[in-house]
Structure 1
Amino acid sequence: MEKAFSTAIRRLPSTQIYLVQMNFSTSIPRRDQLILEGLNEEVQGILPTLYIFVFIVGLVANGWGLKSLLHNWKKLGDVNVFVFNLGLADMLYLLTLPFLVVYYVKENTWIFGDKFCKVTRFCFNLNLYCSIGFLTCISVYRYLAIVHPMRVMGRLTVTHSVIISVLVWILVGVQSLPDMFFPKRFGKQAKCYDSTSLEHMEDYLKYSLGRTLTGFCIPLLITLGCYGHMICVLCSRTTIDKVLKQRSLRFLLILILLFSVCYTPHHVFKNLSLYSRVLVKQNICKDWDSAVFNAHQISRGLVSLNSALNPLVYLHVQEDISAQFRQLLQRVEVIFHRMFESKSFSEAVAQTDEDDDV
């Protein structure tokens, strides 16, 4: 009987095994482990690959952008202060990605200690909500400069931007700090959960919903309000510079990309996943939990892309960086063109030698 049952279990998809096993265990530790590890093998392989890509692209792009901003430090305007802090938030998160890659490569085995696990998760939340906060600040500044230019002329200084940036860091830090008091591993298991153990899931869901409201929904509404009114003004006024219109629309496209691909899916599926685990704890909707959990894991990979996409903001706000980027692309194009010509010439010479031998 046991042999037949084991054979049947092995034939089930990996995302369903933990649901079957839960019916034979009533202890919270076992259920906790099974729910939080019920990850599809395909999704399990995507995350480390995506993290490696984000780490390389994000590190190069943000490093280059920050270097350009520091090079023109004396010309750093009020909006560029927010862009600089956006880059710092990205770099803080990018430095934790190699540890997460090791975690997933070792099949969800965390070898760096419980305290560093909490620091890693804290850095993720700090990056996520600071990014949203600084993008919102840039949107508000753009709105004021276009819709109310005379009212804010000379009133918005770099000092104001620095003070606002410090406030964003403090508010996001205070908002993210409670997350560190929730258990990120269970017992002696070498895990590093991005939420918490099943025992504390109800409390964590309430905390997550509150953080979603203050850190995502309110900034999103502010951004939508600013750009909704801004578009109306840009379309109705003929006196606004054409270049300014184009830059505003480009930045709007960047925001749409970030919010639709990175931020919105993460918050939707994270809270759905937490809610589904609360239901599973009550033996309700177990099949639904499997699908939502895997969708949440995919959204975690997508939200990490914000650190690779945020450097697009550098190109929008800093004309010098845009020019340098175009020059860099031209150099890369020339290098690849020369490499292709050299390869074609070598192949032609080799073919000629073969013909002569014949």
Structure 2
Amino acid sequence: MGTKNNTQTVVSDNGVNNKLNIEVMNIEKEQVATLNANVNATEVASVEQSNTNSMKEQAIVATPDEVEDCGCSEDGAPATWQANINGKQQEIIIGFTDCNIPVSKKKEELLKLADKKDCLPVKYNVVRPEIFWNENYPIVDRNGNEIQKGTPDVYVLCPEPGTNCRIFFDEVLTDVEIIECESVQDWAKKVGTTNQLCQSFDKVKEVAVAALATGVEAAKQVTRFAMEHHVPESVSECYLLTRLTPKNISLMMMGHKPKVEIALGRTWEDAQRLLSGIGKTFGEAERAKRYVIRAINSLLDDEDYDLDTVLEALKTIPAEKVTYAKLKKCGDKETCIVKVLTSWIIKMQRDTLKTAA
């Protein structure tokens, strides 16, 4: 665009101006070439930086910023732990592979808030590093720096649910067992089999533990409702009109009560009435899904519709309208159900007025 404007400015019938035109165009070509070169150089630098960052992210297990005390020496030597191995206390370097799970931001906060006296003892399973070095498989310290072959007192952590994050919390590894492995493949099979036989809490069990750890009544009721009626924890919350955030649950499991009291917005009896009504109208499977109860809650948020009115609508709405609400393409299922039930409630109210007249 710049070439066109400058050319129009200096256009003339004489040879001098034509010469000027040519000089201007040549200058602009040089500027464009320089600009393109700068852009290309910037893009290459950006890609190289991105690749460098990506490689660092893949290698790093936990950086000094992620854990308050990185344990690294002032001279840059690998971080060490005090460990009890075969009844002997010694200083060791823990090596990590790319199978170890990085410390997440969420876990960082929990590591800072956790109380050591509330932690159950765990066993740290480790292997000698030679199998990795012999197969040219890199291992790194907790700061992401590769541990060179032949470095003494190195043991590679076997990644397990109970120790992946815990190792950044314990100052002394009180129970360390050296596992004998013939190769990296042998090590991987042992790690994989052990992890496949592990099972973490589902949300219902998490809230159950949180309720016991804090005594929060709302959490107890959410757990009880979910277990008795075989619905997910999030669905139980919808029936009882309460909200337990993931952060709330995590902190409560560690014994920290929420700063703001968690209360139920609906009684147990009313929640059961809704569960029964939804089950009869939409089917037993649908009562355990969030979209139906959330649609009902949306209706009840409208002050024109009380619980008895909605329950009567669920009881009397024709089956074909329910099927239509499930299948109708009007955005999402919640919106469809709200529209169909609203129409039916309006019809119910009109029929009532006609009968009264």
TM-score, normalization by structure 2: 0.24
| Structure possessing the higher relative contact order (Cα contacts under 8 Å, 6 or more residues apart) | 1
Structure ranking higher in strand proportion? 2
TM-score, normalization: structure 1? 0.23
**Which protein shows a greater Rg?**
2
Greater fraction helix:
1
